[in-house]
A and B are shown apart, each in its own frame.
Chain A
């Protein structure tokens, strides 16, 4: 049986005096795995006063949120070593802990810290990893996510995605600018507003290098236009303002093109836009609705939603010969596809008699699974390491974000403190 855990990880972080940005999301793990690997993350030894962030707590929260690790509660630690040579192995063996992460945070000069960490294997009594960082006060969270990435990769063989970011849209009717595009760490912390508007903002999409975002904004006289926005400078430009729909931008893997939906020639169809030249090329040719394009990792095909067979289903378009093949056959409503970075799993919104859920189809084996249990699930976005899917759903009548592992075994909530949160987009590796 699956174990149901409800631990408010960020609750204990805030008790330690962590300043929370007002719009930060709060992570709750609602469903974990009972085969999660037990690991002890010992609070890092702090010399010269407590640093602004509890690095070990952030590492533990990251590992916990992956669902693949079960950090030992700090209160259960029998000893708190800060160096490998100080480890009393028995203290960790009796707690049935497989691995130990420990470290030190020392002030170094003006507002800087030196952070060292080590990863040890309890069964073998051996050190597996160790490294040091120098970071400013504002970079302690980055260091913690980087440590979690390395520990995760060492122990699972999969690149960690804790240092990545998410984009999402918030809607708060009481705000003068109800629609906001936000940017945050993958754990919901350090949220920043990229754009605020009185009119809807939709469909954020990352450039493959993570430097730019494309989105649809209705800010200009209530009409939809597609913008390309540079995150570092906030400089942006309109790249599509055709008559009718300008929607669903999706960046090509080489960063040179956007796939998008336009209705300028009648019904909504998929086009590609060369960003350097502005050249538009129509890619689909149906009398139906074709929309929600995504690129396959090789950049040679698009997947998209089409109503050409009646209701919405997902199709694949080969860009070289324009041939189209239907991919989904389970149920009468399958839409808004995303794809795992290895191109193997198709992730999409699937309608059942209970509502809308996230479906995962293994394109190699042809198997299909519904991985969520809520009923208004939408906008799935796959983590760059392919392990988790973040998506929008509803809780108590308001939009919230949740994440689920690709196999459906781990579930994580990111409830918002106020207003709706929707349309998450997980960044590439940065």
Chain B
């Protein structure tokens, strides 16, 4: 009884420590990735209740959604083909870890439906010059293309389009609007899941 209470307290402390670590990280790229290994690193004796408490989907209810963690926030990615927008950190074009399961689901759909075609539409926020942003958005759509190719998707099923800052998802010149605009949208032109 006491031990369980202690364990619960320990988990709570651990969780808050993780959150603190997240918010103080200057590069938001890794925030969610770093949280998972910490949970797994716990010694077996004390982890049992922790493992039971760990949901099959990450529990992100107490991770606030900010401009810094927006791209890697689990709330955008449900791990199925229903999630069709991948977000990116400022000035970055790496696929965020939180989107991996979602992209794997798209890859498996594309592999089992050879007539399915998806267009990967890359976007940036409004900062910077327009044509340079077109080039930056292509890096993002190509990063998603590369991820799907590594999963075994045929190149003929994929097409990239680079819109730069021309088609923002959110109006506004604030950090959160910018975070919403740094994205790649997966648009199926045939064989929609």
Q: Interface residues, chain A, CB within 8 Å of chain B? A: 200, 202-203, 218, 222-224, 244-245, 247-248, 261, 263, 267-268, 289, 291-292, 305, 307, 312, 333, 335-336, 349, 351, 356, 376, 378-379, 394, 397, 423
B127's nearest neighbour on chain A, judged by CB, is A356
Q: A200-B167, A289-B132 are in contact. List 5 more A-B contacts (CB 8 A).
A: A200-B163, A200-B166, A218-B161, A218-B166, A423-B130
B39 interface residue per 8 A CB criterion = no
Q: A261: nearest residue on chain B (CB-CB)?
A: B131
**Does B44 make an interface contact (CB < 8 A)?**
no
Shortest C-beta distance, B43 to chain A (Å), equals: 44
Chain A binder among B55-63, B82-90, B133-141? B133-141
Give CA–CA (A312, B134) in the complex, Å: 13
- Assess whether A261 is in contact with B135, with CB atoms less than 8 Å apart: yes
**Known A224-B161, A394-B173: A336·B138 in contact at CB below 8 Å:** no
Q: Which of B119, B136, B160 contacts A289 (CB 8 A)?
A: B136
Instruction: Given A244-B138, A394-B173, verify A202-B130 contact (CB < 8 Å).
Output: yes
Given contacts A244-B160, A349-B129, contact A376 B134 (CB under 8 A): no
Complex: A261 Cα to B131 Cα, angstroms: 9
Find out whether the CB atom of A268 lies under 8 angstroms from the CB atom of B138: yes
Chain A residues with Cβ under 8 A from B135's Cβ? 245, 247, 261, 263, 267-268, 289, 291, 307
| A333–B134 touching, CB < 8 Å | no
Q: How distant is B165 from chain A, measured CB to nearest CB, in Å?
A: 10
Q: State whether B130 touches A379 (Cβ < 8 A).
A: yes
Whole-angstrom CA separation of A200 from B163 in the bound complex: 8
Q: Which of B90-145 contact A (CB under 8 A)?
A: 119, 121, 126-132, 134-136, 138
List 13 A-B residue pairs with CB atoms under 8 Å apart, sorted by A's residue number: A223-B161, A244-B138, A244-B162, A247-B135, A248-B131, A261-B134, A335-B132, A349-B128, A351-B128, A376-B126, A378-B129, A379-B129, A397-B171
**Which residues of the partner chain A approach B172 to less than 8 Å between Cβ atoms?**
397
Are B173 and A397 in touch, CB under 8 angstroms? yes
Cβ distance A390 to chain B, nearest Cβ, rounded Å: 15
Are the C-beta atoms of B132 and A292 separated by less than 8 Å? yes
Which residues of B are found within 8 Å of A222, using beta-carbon distances?
Answer: 119, 121, 161
**Nearest CB in chain B to that of A394: its residue:** B173
A223 to chain B, nearest CB (A): 6
Tell me which residues across on chain A come within 8 A of B131, comparing CB atoms: 202-203, 247-248, 261, 291-292, 305, 336
How distant is the Cα of A289 from the Cα of B140 in the complex, in angstroms? 13
| Chain A interface mostly | strand
Chain B residues lying within 8 Å of A312, measured Cβ to Cβ, are 128-129, 132
Smallest CB separation, B122 vs chain A (Å): 10
Complex Cα distance A397/B172, Å? 7
User: Which residues of A are found within 8 Å of B161, using beta-carbon distances?
Assistant: 218, 222-224
A336 neighbours in B (Cβ, 8 Å): 129-132
Q: How far is the CB of B127 from chain A (nearest CB, A)?
A: 7
Tell whether A218 pairs with B136 under 8 Å between CB atoms, given A202-B131, A261-B131.
no
Q: Which residues of B contact A305 (CB under 8 A)?
A: 129, 131-132
**The one of B129, B138, B160, B167 that contacts A292, using a Cβ cutoff of 8 Å:** B129
Q: Using known A-B contacts A268-B135, A291-B135, determine if residue A376 contacts B173 with beta carbons closer than 8 Å.
A: yes
Cα A224 to Cα B136 in complex, Å, equals: 15
Please, which residues of chain A bring their CB within 8 A of the CB of B136?
289
Cα distance, A339 to B132, chains bound together (Å):
18
**Contact (Cβ within 8 A) B129 A218:** no
Chain A, Cβ-Cβ closest to B162? A245
B157 CB, nearest partner CB in chain A, Å: 15
User: Nearest-CB distance from A296 to chain B (Å)?
Assistant: 19
| Interface core residue of B134, B167, B172 (most chain A CB under 10 Å) | B134
Contacts of A289 in B (CB 8 A): 132, 135-136
Neighbouring A residues of B129 by C-beta, 8 Å? 292, 305, 312, 335-336, 349, 356, 378-379
B-side contacts of A261, CB under 8 Å: 131, 134-135
Q: Which residues of A contact B127 (CB under 8 A)?
A: 356
Indicate if the CB atoms of A245 and B130 lie closer than 8 Å. Answer: no
Which residues of B are found within 8 Å of A356, using beta-carbon distances? 127-129
Q: A376 to B46, alpha carbons, bound, how many Å?
A: 54
